[in-house]
């Protein structure tokens, strides 16, 4: 049998692409085991959201009567490959990978397939391989919402001066966020209404890197800018630290994403202007459902597909919600993602 364990049929109907992932060969479960075993290989637990992702996934897999093994690579490609190899050795029935480096992890997918294990790429795409399934938020839309928030708040002189902080170059999502931002900004840049005064990529999404970028921008331009288009809450936090040191916090609009508690507190206090809430609760339910179907070799219907440079990967995209001071209560608090008292009355350090 071919190394590929799944057959992917992609058919076009009107503008909707339907991907059907069909199980091939056996039940997928190792003979000696009654309960499915899912392997979860994570890049990092640095951002709060990943801890939430891990905890919800683990709890929901167990509640569904299956088991899970989790490994974290701390932003190291070699470590992540080793983690996947070890999960393969443990004979997991399906693998969920959140890649540090979407290009480098193609090797992990190939190894899993050689062992007959299907792979779901979660949140970030693994490129250049025969990936089985991709579950993510609408990442281009994240970037569009961030940029739109700023362009909807043009200064009175009709010219918006921006510092842009992108995410990790190794993360395919960072490029998608930029693509979404560009969709909104390019026409306005061409019309002379938006000026990018400084831009750079934050290494491994580090807040320290974002702080350095902001410091460098201020050294170069002084305080002559209106907004910082930070691609996530971690980098927003680093940028806001630099702004605070310069007495600019609260005067400059700063974007983000993830609805981290610290970011929601900054929004309540007025030092960060917006974030994008990605409903981790709902996506974790979908993730468990898909991972279990893969493990049990059951058919999966995916409405979308995403080219990863090698194949059109059947994809499931989950919607996201922009969050500002006005709707903090109606979104993250209402959803139980954060408690109202934590968001609005943070303990002062
Ligand atoms: C995720 C973001 C996260 C960032 C840093 C991205 O791929 O989509 O939610 O903030 O990585 O971990």
DSSP secondary structure of 141-181: HHHHHHHHHHHTT--TTS-EEEEEEE--TT-HHHHHHHHHH
Q: Render pLDDT for 114-149 as a digit per residue (tens, 0 to 9).
A: 999 999 999 999 999 999 999 999 999 999 999 999
Mean pLDDT of 65-93: 98
Pocket test for ligand 1, best of 44, 49, 52 (most atoms within 8 A of CB): 49
Atom of ligand 1 nearest to the CA of 172: 7
Q: Render pLDDT for 9-44 as a digit per residue (tens, 0 to 9).
A: 322 222 223 456 644 334 556 656 789 999 999 999
Q: Check residue 21 and give its pLDDT.
A: 63
Q: pLDDT tier at 5 (50, 70, 90 boundaries)?
A: very low
Q: Is the CB of 338 under 6 A from ligand 1?
A: no
Q: pLDDT tier at 158 (50, 70, 90 boundaries)?
A: very high
Both tokens of 4, joined, read 């590929």
Task: Record the pTM.
Answer: 0.91
Superfamily of domain 3-131+279-318: Response regulator (3.40.50.2300)
Q: Check residue 34 and give its pLDDT.
A: 84
Both tokens of 56, joined, read 């919800």
Q: Check residue 26 and give its pLDDT.
A: 47
Whether the domain at 3-131+279-318 and the domain at 139-278+322-343 fall into the same CATH topology = yes
Fold of 139-278+322-343: Rossmann fold (3.40.50)
Q: pLDDT tier at 349 (50, 70, 90 boundaries)?
A: low
Query: Are residues 161 and 225 in contact, defined by beta-carbon separation less than 8 angstroms?
Result: yes
Q: Is the CB of 171 under 6 A from ligand 1?
A: yes
Which range (61-70, 291-300, 338-347) has the least confidence? Answer: 338-347
Q: Is the CB of 195 under 6 A from ligand 1?
A: no
Q: Are strands 16-23 and 300-302 parallel, antiparallel or unpaired?
A: antiparallel
* pLDDT > 70: percent of the chain: 90
Domain assignments of the chain as residue spans, ordered by start: 3-131+279-318, 139-278+322-343
Q: Is the CB of 166 under 6 A from ligand 1?
A: no
């Amino acid at each position: 049998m071919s190394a590929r364990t799944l057959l992917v049929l992609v058919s076009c109907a009107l503008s909707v692409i339907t991907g059907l992932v069909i199980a091939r060969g056996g039940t997928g479960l190792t003979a000696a085991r009654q309960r499915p075993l899912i392997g979860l290989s994570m890049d990092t637990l640095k951002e709060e959201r990943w801890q939430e992702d891990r905890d919800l996934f683990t709890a929901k897999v167990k509640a569904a009567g299956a088991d899970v093994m989790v490994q974290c690579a701390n932003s190291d490609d070699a470590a992540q490959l080793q983690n996947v190899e070890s999960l393969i050795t443990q004979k997991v029935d399906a693998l969920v990978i959140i890649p540090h480096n979407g290009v480098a992890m193609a090797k992990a997918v190939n190894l899993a397939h050689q062992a007959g294990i299907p792979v779901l790429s979660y949140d970030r795409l693994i490129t250049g391989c025969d990936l089985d399934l991709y579950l993510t938020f609408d990442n281009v839309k994240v970037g569009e919402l961030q940029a739109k928030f700023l362009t909807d708040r043009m200064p009175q002189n009709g010219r918006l001066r921006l510092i842009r902080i992108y995410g990790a170059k190794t993360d395919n999502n960072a490029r998608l966020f930029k693509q979404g931002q560009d969709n909104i900004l390019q026409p306005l840049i061409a019309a002379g209404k938006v000026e990018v005064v400084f831009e750079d990529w934050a290494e491994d999404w580090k807040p320290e890197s974002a702080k350095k970028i902001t410091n460098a921008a201020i050294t170069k331009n002084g305080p002559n800018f209106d907004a910082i288009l930070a691609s996530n809450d971690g980098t927003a936090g680093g940028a806001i630290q630099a702004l605070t040191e310069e007495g600019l916090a609260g005067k400059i609009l700063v974007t983000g994403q993830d609805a981290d508690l610290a970011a929601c507190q900054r929004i309540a206090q007025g030092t960060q202007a917006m974030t994008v809430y990605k409903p981790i609760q709902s996506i974790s339910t979908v993730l468990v459902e898909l991972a279990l179907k893969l493990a049990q070799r059951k058919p999966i219907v995916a409405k979308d597909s995403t080219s990863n440079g090698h194949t059109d990967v059947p994809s499931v995209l989950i919607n996201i919600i922009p969050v500002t001071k006005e709707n903090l209560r109606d979104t993250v608090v209402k959803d139980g993602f954060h408690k109202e008292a934590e968001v609005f009355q943070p303990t002062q350090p």
